[in-house]
């Protein structure tokens, strides 16, 4: 199994999502793990040049357009090579961190990770699994104001990844000990389901 690990927590020292992601990966039978740390190596925001370049056929792009898409191409190749994505998802102000949103903007590309059909959009990265390691002070996963996991499920499904599991440490401000115990139990369940 090839795993793509994506860390997005700005907290690089005592991050709950990084800890959970470590434990999830340790529970998987991974042949290789590629790590993309969005806090330590921030991604650029999309630009006008990028937006224009993505609509130009690959064999007609200028050198500037190819350069503008190079990072996006590399990120998409990482997903294509992976069997499983393990994504650290801290909830910032009810949603995903800006660093993770930048990654999403760079990988959600028509003709590369999804396409439009007469029946609607179709994801092109099928047959992969994603595990979200979620941490939040008090935004319960699945609640009406949980925009992070619902958004991630939608985006991943949009590009074809519909097998999405969640390990939730979503009540850290209320009872950190019980919250972490429950998250570790969920990781044990993932092991049993694999």
Binding positions are 9
Per residue, the 3-state secondary structure of the chain, as one string, reads CEEEEEECCCCCCCCHHHHHHHHHHHHCCCCEEEEEECCCCCCCCCCHHHHHHCCCCHHHCCHHHHHHHHHHHHHHHHHHHCCEEEEEEECECCECCHHHHHHHHHHCCECCCEEEECCEEEECCCCCEEEEEEECCCCCCCCCCCHHHHHHHHHHHHCCCCEEEEEEECCCCCCHHHHHHHHHHHHHHHHHHC
Q: Which residue numbers belong to the known binding site for FMN? A: 9
């Amino acid at each position: 199994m090839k795993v793509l690990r994506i860390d997005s927590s700005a907290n690089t020292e005592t991050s709950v999502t990084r800890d959970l992601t470590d434990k999830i990966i340790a529970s998987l039978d991974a042949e290789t793990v590629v790590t993309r740390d969005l806090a330590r190596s921030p991604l650029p925001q999309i630009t006008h040049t990028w937006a224009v370049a993505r609509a130009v056929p690959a064999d007609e792009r200028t050198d500037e357009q190819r350069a503008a898409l190079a990072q996006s191409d590399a990120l998409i190749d990482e997903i294509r090579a992976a069997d499983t994505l393990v994504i650290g998802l801290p909830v910032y102000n009810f949603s995903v961190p800006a660093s993770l949103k930048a990654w999403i903007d760079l990988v959600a590309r028509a003709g590369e990770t999804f396409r439009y059909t007469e029946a609607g959009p179709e994801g092109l990265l099928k047959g992969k699994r994603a595990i979200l390691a979620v941490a939040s002070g008090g935004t319960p996963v699945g609640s009406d104001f949980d925009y992070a996991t619902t958004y991630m499920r939608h985006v991943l499904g949009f590009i074809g990844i519909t097998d999405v599991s969640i390990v939730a440490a979503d009540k850290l401000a209320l009872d950190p000990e019980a919250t972490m115990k429950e998250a570790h139990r969920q990781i044990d369940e993932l092991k049993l389901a694999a």
